């Protein structure tokens, strides 16, 4: 008797679970399907980490990004040890002190570990003072050592600045450029694409000719021309927003075409006619009735557009026509790795490029997952 009740209860639970799927909303079904995409979940986790580190870069950095070390210039990444030179194991990670030596053959100076001096690494230590997000004053850093000029996880550049701390700060600029730029792109694409698809006729013709003209211009020369027009007296903040707007002005055309095509299909549907008869304005119809049906597709399109924005900013800054010092972006950091000699002698200067690759791949993985989840019924 008890066995029968248990079996019946299990069957009821199974049926209720199946029924719950049919009662879920569109977004719940999308989330259910998205979770099954392992690479998309991995990409989302990576992006959450990168954006968290970028937003709170002062906390995660080991020292101030402008600080120069006179005793560690162009130094290789510091090795973290758990076993000392005598073979003793320690749960507390540590780094050795540094001493400068000279190669007797090439006369090239390099930094070697001084095994007689150890510096323990710890979490949440007190170091250089900073203003978190320009507002909150503090001096607590996530991981490192209070001893100055001994711990450089990514090495140092030719000026003796900590590359790790600069990469943490560069993530904020590069990732936010892509995010803010795509927001502008989304607004422009939906606005012009919506007008073009909804009204049609001469309005559609004019907007499409403008789009075709913009798409026919080579991107790099256009970026160079617009970037060269910046006044030299502009502050770093103005240049940052100018670069973001330039990328947006070029990137909205493809989204506008997609929105136009969708609205051309939907503008004569019965629900649109009913909205017109009820006295709804054209703007209200576009925003409330025409754009929401393919809102999931727009989200996917925007997600896949962010990597292009990041690559564009990195390319411009790498060529010296985008963001410039004292702004620190991944493209600006890669300017120090423009020659073969630099890369061969100081390969760690390519680490910012690795973060560009990781960011772009993570966004692509996320976009693929969102694209599959956009139609949860397949």
CATH at residue 203: 1.10.3720.10
Partners of residue 162 on adjacent β-strands = 156
Is the Cα torsion angle 171, 173, 178, 182 positive or negative in sign?
A: positive
The residues, any chain, with a CB within 8 Å of residue 32's CB and separated by 6 or more, are 21, 24, 376
Range of the domain at 203: 167-373
Q: If we measure between CA atoms, which residue out of 96, 295, 90 comes closest to residue 186?
A: 295
pLDDT at 16: 53
pLDDT at 45: 94
Q: If we measure between CA atoms, which residue out of 139, 267, 288 comes closest to residue 196?
A: 267
Could you read off the pLDDT of 161-193 as tens digits, one per residue? 889 999 999 998 888 888 888 888 888 888 898
14-26 average pLDDT score: 58
> Which one of 151, 176, 204 terminates a domain?
151
Q: Residue 219 domain-assigned?
A: yes
Beta carbons of 331 and 174 less than 8 angstroms apart = yes
- Phi, psi at 150, each rounded to 5°: -130, -20
> Which one of 118, 151, 184 terminates a domain?
151
User: Residues 240, 112: one domain?
Assistant: no
Q: Residue 109 domain-assigned?
A: yes
Asked whether residue 6 carries a pLDDT value surpassing 60, the answer given is no
pLDDT at 15: 47
User: Residues 144, 262: one domain?
Assistant: no
25-53 average pLDDT score: 86
Q: Residue 203 domain-assigned?
A: yes
Asked whether residue 237 carries a pLDDT value surpassing 90, the answer given is no
User: Residues 309, 180: one domain?
Assistant: yes
State percent of the chain over pLDDT 90: 10
Q: Residue 112 domain-assigned?
A: yes
Could you read off the pLDDT of 308-346 as tens digits, one per residue? 888 877 877 777 777 777 788 888 888 888 778 788 888
pLDDT at 306: 83
Asked whether residue 378 carries a pLDDT value surpassing 70, the answer given is no
205-214 average pLDDT score: 89
User: Residues 172, 312: one domain?
Assistant: yes
pLDDT at 22: 59
Q: Residue 45 domain-assigned?
A: no
Cα separation values, 59 from 43, 155, 165, 167, 351, Å: 23, 19, 10, 13, 20
Q: Residue 32 domain-assigned?
A: no
Could you read off the pLDDT of 105-164 as tens digits, one per residue? 777 777 778 788 888 888 998 888 888 877 888 889 999 888 888 888 998 888 888 899
Residue that wins the pLDDT comparison between 27 and 178? 178
In whole numbers, what is the pLDDT of the chain averaged over residues? 81
User: Residues 274, 342: one domain?
Assistant: yes
The distance of Cα 241 from the centroid of its chain, to the nearest Å, equals 16
User: Residues 176, 267: one domain?
Assistant: yes
User: Residues 122, 192: one domain?
Assistant: no
Could you read off the pLDDT of 83-102 as tens digits, one per residue? 887 888 888 898 888 877 77
Reported confidence tier of residue 358, pLDDT bands at 50, 70, 90: very high
Cα separation values, 267 from 261, 279, 314, Å: 10, 16, 40
pLDDT at 166: 92
Beta carbons of 370 and 40 less than 8 angstroms apart = yes
Hey, how many other C-beta atoms are within 10 angstroms of the C-beta on 371?
18
pLDDT at 88: 84
For residue 332, give both structure tokens.
Answer: 């600006």
Asked whether residue 252 carries a pLDDT value surpassing 80, the answer given is yes
pTM value surpassing 0.85:
no
> Which one of 151, 186, 213 terminates a domain?
151
Asked whether residue 50 carries a pLDDT value surpassing 90, the answer given is yes
The residues, any chain, with a CB within 8 Å of residue 24's CB and separated by 6 or more, are 32
Q: Is the peptide bond before 326 cis (omega within 30 degrees of 0)?
A: yes
Beta carbons of 236 and 177 less than 8 angstroms apart = no
Asked whether residue 3 carries a pLDDT value surpassing 50, the answer given is no
Q: Residue 5 domain-assigned?
A: no
User: Residues 199, 117: one domain?
Assistant: no
User: Residues 193, 147: one domain?
Assistant: no
Q: Residue 297 domain-assigned?
A: yes
User: Residues 91, 173: one domain?
Assistant: no
285-313 average pLDDT score: 80
Beta carbons of 302 and 186 less than 8 angstroms apart = yes
User: Residues 229, 143: one domain?
Assistant: no
In the chain, which ranges are continuous DSSP H helix? 2-23, 26-34, 38-55, 57-60, 163-199, 201-216, 219-228, 236-251, 253-266, 270-277, 282-285, 295-319, 330-334, 340-345, 351-373
Report the number of distinct structural domains present in the chain: 2
pLDDT at 13: 47
User: Residues 261, 117: one domain?
Assistant: no
Residue that wins the pLDDT comparison between 304 and 274? 274
Hey, how many other C-beta atoms are within 10 angstroms of the C-beta on 319?
15
């Amino acid at each position: 008797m008890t066995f029968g009740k248990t079996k019946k209860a299990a069957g009821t639970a199974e049926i209720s679970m199946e029924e719950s799927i049919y009662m879920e909303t569109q977004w719940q079904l999308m989330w259910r399907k998205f979770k099954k995409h392992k690479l998309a979940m991995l990409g989302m986790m990576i992006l959450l980490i990168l954006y968290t580190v970028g937003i709170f870069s002062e906390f995660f950095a080991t020292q101030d990004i402008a600080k120069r070390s006179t005793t560690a210039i162009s130094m290789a990444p510091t090795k973290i040890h758990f076993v000392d030179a005598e073979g003793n194991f320690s749960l507390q990670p540590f780094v050795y002190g540094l001493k400068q030596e000279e190669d007797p053959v090439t006369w090239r100076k390099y930094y070697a570990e001084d095994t007689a001096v150890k510096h323990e690494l710890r979490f949440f230590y007190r170091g250089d003072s900073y203003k978190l997000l320009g507002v909150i004053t503090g001096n607590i850093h996530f991981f490192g050592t209070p001893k100055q000029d001994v711990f450089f996880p990514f090495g140092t550049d030719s000026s003796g600045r900590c590359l790790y701390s600069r990469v943490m700060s560069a993530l904020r600029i590069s990732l936010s450029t892509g995010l803010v730029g795509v927001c502008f792109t989304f607004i422009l694409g939906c606005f012009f694409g919506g007008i073009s698809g909804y009204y049609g006729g001469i309005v559609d013709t004019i907007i499409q000719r403008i789009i075709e003209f913009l798409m026919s211009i080579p991107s790099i020369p256009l970026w160079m021309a617009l970037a060269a027009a910046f006044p030299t007296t502009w502050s770093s903040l103005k240049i940052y927003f100018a670069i973001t707007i330039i990328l947006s002005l070029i990137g909205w055309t493809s989204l506008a075409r997609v929105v136009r095509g969708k609205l051309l299909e939907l503008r004569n549907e019965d629900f649109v006619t009913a909205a017109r008869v009820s006295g709804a304005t054209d703007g209200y119809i576009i925003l409330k009735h025409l754009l929401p049906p393919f809102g999931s597709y727009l989200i996917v399109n925007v997600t896949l557009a962010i990597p292009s924005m990041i690559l564009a900013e990195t390319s411009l800054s790498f060529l010296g026509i985008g963001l410039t010092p004292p702004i620190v972006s991944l493209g600006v950091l890669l300017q120090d790795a423009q020659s073969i000699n630099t890369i061969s002698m100081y390969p760690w200067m390519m680490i910012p490029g690795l973060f560009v690759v990781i960011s772009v791949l993570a966004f692509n993985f996320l976009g693929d997952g969102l694209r599959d989840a956009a139609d949860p019924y397949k």
